[in-house]
Amino acid sequence: MTIGMARSEPGMAALPAEVELRLLRPSDIAAAMRLSAEAGWNQVAADWQIFLDLGEAYGLATRDDGRLIATAATLPHGKSFAWISMVLVAEDCRRRGLARWLLRHCANRLLDRQLVPGLDATPAGRAVYLGLGFQDCWSMRRLVLHGAFRHDNRERGDDALVRPLQAGDWPALFAYDRAVFGGDRGVLLRRLSDRLPGAALVAKRSGRLDGFILGRDGRVMTQIGPLVAENENTAQALLRHALRMQASPLAIDLADRHERLGRWLVERGFAVERPLTRMVHGLNGAFDDPARLFAVAGPEFG
Same domain, 156 and 254: yes
Cα distance between residue 57 and residue 76, in whole Å = 12
Same domain, 183 and 266: yes
Same domain, 252 and 157: yes
Same domain, 148 and 95: no
Same domain, 151 and 250: yes
Same domain, 234 and 282: yes
Of the candidates 85, 80, 72, 77, which has an alpha carbon nearest to the alpha carbon of residue 116?
A: 80
The CATH number given to whatever domain includes residue 71 is 3.40.630.30
Same domain, 159 and 259: yes
How many domains, the chain? 2
In the predicted model, residues of the chain with pLDDT beneath 70 are 1-12, 153-160
User: Amino acid identity of 299?
Assistant: P
SS3 84: strand
Do residues 286 and 134 lie in contact, with contact meaning Cβ atoms separated by under 8 Å? no
In a domain, 124, yes or no: no
Give me the helix-helix angle, 45-54 and 29-38, nearest 10°.
120
Of the candidates 155, 167, 138, 141, which has an alpha carbon nearest to the alpha carbon of residue 275?
A: 141
Of the candidates 217, 207, 272, which has an alpha carbon nearest to the alpha carbon of residue 246?
A: 217
Same domain, 272 and 180: yes
pLDDT at 300: 96
The CATH number given to whatever domain includes residue 185 is 3.40.630.90
In a domain, 285, yes or no: yes
Cα distance between residue 230 and residue 248, in whole Å = 27
Cα distance between residue 24 and residue 3, in whole Å = 11
Same domain, 164 and 280: yes
Cα distance between residue 251 and residue 204, in whole Å = 25
For the chain, strand residue ranges (E) read: 19-23, 56-62, 68-77, 81-89, 116-121, 134-145, 162-164, 201-205, 208-216, 222-229, 250-255, 271-281, 293-295
pLDDT at 10: 52
Domain that holds residue 242: 140-295
In a domain, 27, yes or no: yes
pLDDT at 13: 72
Do residues 173 and 210 lie in contact, with contact meaning Cβ atoms separated by under 8 Å? no
Same domain, 74 and 144: no
Same domain, 149 and 279: yes
pLDDT at 143: 98
Same domain, 282 and 201: yes
Cα distance between residue 260 and residue 90, in whole Å = 39
